[in-house]
Structure 1
Amino acid sequence: MIAEIDKTPISIDQFVDWYPESSENCYELRRGIIVEMPKPRGKHSEIAGFVIKCLNLIIDDLQVPYFIPRECIIKISKDTGYEPDVTVIKRPNLINEPLWEKTSIIEKGESLALTVEVVSTNWGDDYALKMTDYESIGIGEYWIVDYLGIGGRRYIGSPKQPTVTVCTLVDGEYELKQFRGGDRILSSAFPALNLTAEQIFVAGVG
């Protein structure tokens, strides 16, 4: 469950100044409104951690200059910023990110190799709102990990089932591909990645 903290619109700069250093929750700024996001717990947290582990392994294997920060806010506009479950940053691009050192804010989509959102009950945010916003700033690849299969039928089909949707930026627009069960995830950011949808859903168990 998400909750709006205050109806008074603020800027991303004011949001960063306001953001509490120690909190049981995460926060995002959506069209000027602070939204409280419960920290990932249970299966959600386990899946995010497993994806991070898999991506870190291939980053190390390929020796590419990428890293996954513990915290990162993606600035969409002057009044909107998100904190994805997983963010893969291209280290050389940080030279063009003046806000990174002091605020952990990324402004340019080309600085990101991949973002990942693990779907919760507010699935519409990940499939509609964030997909549109990530596309608008040019993030090359975006995964939506719907391990409960709760997204709308227009996104994951019918009957609903656990699905990983990979959104790849092509000529400024996302092309979507769905992966389920034993399907191997096809990633333009990590073509050598050997990972199936089911491995993500069970977080590597077995």
Structure 2
Amino acid sequence: MVQAVSQKVSFDQFIEQYPENSEHRYELREGVIVEMPKPRGKHSEIAGFLSLELGIVIRSSKLSYFLPRESIVRSADGESGYEPDVIVLDRSAIANEPRWERESVITLGASVRLIVEVVSTNWQDDYLTKLRDYEALGIGEYWVIDYLGLGGRLHIGYPKQATFSVYKLVEGEYEVQRFHIGDLVISPTFPDLNLLVAEVFSALQ
């Protein structure tokens, strides 16, 4: 369940008010603070599995990337702030982030190699709002993991099924490639990633 606190605040106020050690996560949506439960069950399992797989590829390929435990991504207009399920950052680019060391805030799309969102019941956020804002920031690759097939027909087709969508930024706009059970995921950022969709949705290996 997602609960919104209706009073509008600035991004700076949101960061200042963000509680430590809360059992909830918080995001800023167009000036409104939204309280979100931390990922649990299958959602948490899939996010953890992907973090592990990406970490293995980063290490074996000797890439100068890392996966932070927590971070907030500020939208280009400064009206929103998101805490992705998984995010891969570029060590060389992070030096240009003015708020990273103090607040773990990402403001530049160039700092992000990949963002992953695991779809919950509020699927519109991942397919519409966040996609729009990540695209505007210039984030090169964005995954939407819809393991329950909750998204609208425009996003996952019909009949609905579990879908792994990879959005690649091309000339400032996202192009999408969708994968399903039986497919091997193709990632522009991680060409050496050997990841089957079935492994992600089962999150058992």
Q: Same fold (TM over 0.5)?
A: yes
Q: Report what 2:181 is aligned to.
A: 181
Q: Report what 1:164 is aligned to.
A: 164
Give structure 2 stretches of 5+ with no counterpart. Answer: none
1:42-61 → structure 2 map (5 Å cutoff): 42-61=41-60
What do residues 158-202 of structure 1 show as CA deviations (whole Å, max 9, x unaligned)? 111110000000000000010001211110110111001111000
Q: State the 1:113 CA deviation.
A: 0.4
Q: Report what 1:124 is aligned to.
A: 124
What do residues 115-165 of structure 1 show as CA deviations (whole Å, max 9, x unaligned)? 000000000100011111100000000000000011111100011111000
Q: Report what 1:83 is aligned to.
A: 83
Aligned CA RMSD, in angstroms, stands at 0.7
Q: State the 1:35 CA deviation.
A: 0.3
Q: State the 1:8 CA deviation.
A: 1.7
Q: Report what 1:18 is aligned to.
A: 17
SS at the partner of 1:89? strand
SS at the partner of 2:81? strand
Q: Distance in 1 between the 2:65 and 2:79 partners?
A: 27
Number of equivalences: 204
Flag as ranges the 4+ runs of structure 1 deviating above 6 A.
Answer: none
Give structure 1 stretches of 5+ with no counterpart. Answer: none
1:142-153 → structure 2 map (5 Å cutoff): 142-153=142-153
The amino acid across from 1:191 in the alignment is: P
The amino acid across from 1:75 in the alignment is: R
SS at the partner of 2:169? strand
Q: Report what 2:30 is aligned to.
A: 31
SS at the partner of 1:64? coil
Q: State the 1:102 CA deviation.
A: 0.6
Q: Report what 2:134 is aligned to.
A: 134
Q: Distance in 2 between the 1:117 and 1:107 partners?
A: 18
Q: Report what 2:102 is aligned to.
A: 102
Q: Distance in 2 between the 1:43 and 1:31 partners?
A: 29
